[in-house]
Amino acid sequence: MRRADTRAFWLFVGPFALGLLAFVYVPIGWSVLLSFFDARNTVTPTDFVGLANYVDMLSDGPFLRSLGTFSLFALFIVPLTFVLSLGLALLVNGITVMQAFFRSVFFLPAACSYVVASLVWKLSIFNGVRYGLANTVLGWFGVDPVAWIGSTDPPWYWLVLVTLRLWLQVGFYLILFLAGLQRIPKHLYEAAWIDGAKPGWQTLRHITLPQLRTTSVAVLLLNLIAAYQAFDEFYNVMGSAQGYPPFARPPLVYLYYTSLGSGGQDFGHGGAGAVLLALVIVAVTLLQGKVILR
């Protein structure tokens, strides 16, 4: 019996674990290894350089700037997503008719590919010529066409990137919050009402939010990691065949150009940067968890 159990365990877990090992853990380990070598155009380097790649990356202006930019981006996008998805979840949870409909409608964008959404945002809504959607609307009010993605003063490209990300991810977090809301026992609210609490802000502040704490922490953490891992929509909206501009450049895009993008092939520096980025994410996540779960 016990023997059969073990066999079943490996039968089910084995293929998955093997895939994880081959395509996730080995590459991670390998890139950590590469980060200690001068590995240009090779993945089997021989030239050990110790921490030199790390020193280079830590004194590398563009990489540090990208970390700075994306810490700011996280500060901005994480609370915004949190508030919007929680707000929508409360509204959807509050209605009694067509709840399934609204839930699906808000979740639908999450099923859209980042690349497709990026192209829609870039080519049709926010293109810079006079017949773009946003510029057409501005045109009704006599405003000249704006180069949404090209202009840096003011940096309109943030409007494009932030609205795109919100559209894509709010629905997903809304579902998480909805699940959290529906798990809150009804009797808590009933007890509160009997005790004289008013529906609305008071119950939200003292019952709903505390009960949602684990969900909130999960949403915040996922959101934060997603902010640092930004790649798809940035690469597709801002990048061109000639490369990527130095602003709004996520760390991953910079590392991509260093180690993989057309002819870069510098796996040593790329690996070191990836390790540093991972450390930053771990540090910020731990810090955030500590602050919230205090």
Partner 1 sequence: MTSAEISRRTILSASGAAALVGLLGACGTNTGRGGGGQTIEQWYHAYGEPGVQQAVERYAKAYDKATVNVQWNPGDYDSKLSAGLLAGGVPDVFEASLEISAVRSGQVVPLDDVIGSAKDDFTATILAGHTVDGQVYGIPQAVDMQMLFYRKSMFDKAGVHPPTGVDELIDAAKRLTTGGVKGLFAGNDGGVAVLGGPSLWSVGLDYVTPEHEVGFDEPEAAFAISKLRELYASGAVLQGAVKDWAEPDAFTQGLVAMQWTGLWTVPAVQKALGDDFGVLPWPRLDGAGRPSVPVGAFGAMVNAKSQHVEEAKAFVKWLWIDRTDFQEDFNLSYGFHIPPRQSLAAKADKLTKGAASDAVRFVRDNAKSSNPPDWIPSMKTAFGDAVSRVVREGADPGTELKAAVQKARDELKRLYG
Residues that bind partner 1 (CB under 8 A): 40-43, 61-62, 123, 126-130, 132, 145-153, 240-247, 257-258, 260-266
Q: Cα(91)–Cα(100) distance, rounded to whole angstroms?
A: 13
Which residues make beta-bridge pairs with 48? 37
CB 276 within 8 A of CB 54: yes
CB 176 within 8 A of CB 219: yes
Nearest-approach distance from CB 246 to partner 1, in angstroms: 4
Nearest-approach distance from CB 256 to partner 1, in angstroms: 10
Nearer to partner 1, 10 or 247 (CB): 247
Residue 178: closest CA among 226, 215, 218 = 215
Nearer to partner 1, 41 or 113 (CB): 41
Tell me, what amino acid is at 9? Answer: F
- Backbone φ/ψ region at 173: left (φ over 0), alpha (ψ -120 to 50), beta: alpha
Nearest-approach distance from CB 153 to partner 1, in angstroms: 7
Nearer to partner 1, 109 or 261 (CB): 261
Nearest-approach distance from CB 214 to partner 1, in angstroms: 41
Nearer to partner 1, 127 or 169 (CB): 127
Alpha helix locations (H) across 121-212? 133-140, 157-183, 186-194, 201-203, 209-211
Nearer to partner 1, 5 or 153 (CB): 153
Nearest-approach distance from CB 49 to partner 1, in angstroms: 12
SS3 (DSSP) at 130: coil
